[in-house]
Amino acid sequence: MAAITTIARLVTTATRIARADTTYYNVQSYRDGAKILSVWPAKARLLLRRRWRYDGHRYRLKPGRYRWYVWPGFGKRRAARYGPMIGSSTFVVGR
């Protein structure tokens, strides 16, 4: 079974201040200044797997510092209606 790293507590903390009509969230993660993940969970929690695909590339968690951001989304995702950023922080993956 692949190891799963959770950033659920971080996202949950950030989304506590979201509006009640939030229908999804946009969570983006960056490593070394490059975007490596953009997902749209419907709930205020996210499990980040050890490996994933984004924008046609394969990524994996490796030691380093990661930065994440969260925006609330409203209505259908294709409408791309977002509120102001509701959270941002970093997490570190050790060796």
What are the boundaries of each domain within the chain?
A: 4-93
The yes/no answer on whether domain 4-93 falls in CATH 3.40.190 is no
Q: What is the 3-state secondary structure (H, E, C) of 19-88?
A: CCCCCEEEEEEEECCEEEEEECCCCCCCEEECEEEECCEEEECCCEEEEEEEEEEECCHHHCEECCCCEE
Give 10-residue mean pLDDT values along the chain (95 residues): 42 58 92 95 84 94 91 92 90 84
pLDDT the model gives residue 4: 38
pLDDT given at position 60: 92
- State the pLDDT at residue 69: 93
Give the model's pLDDT for residue 11.
52
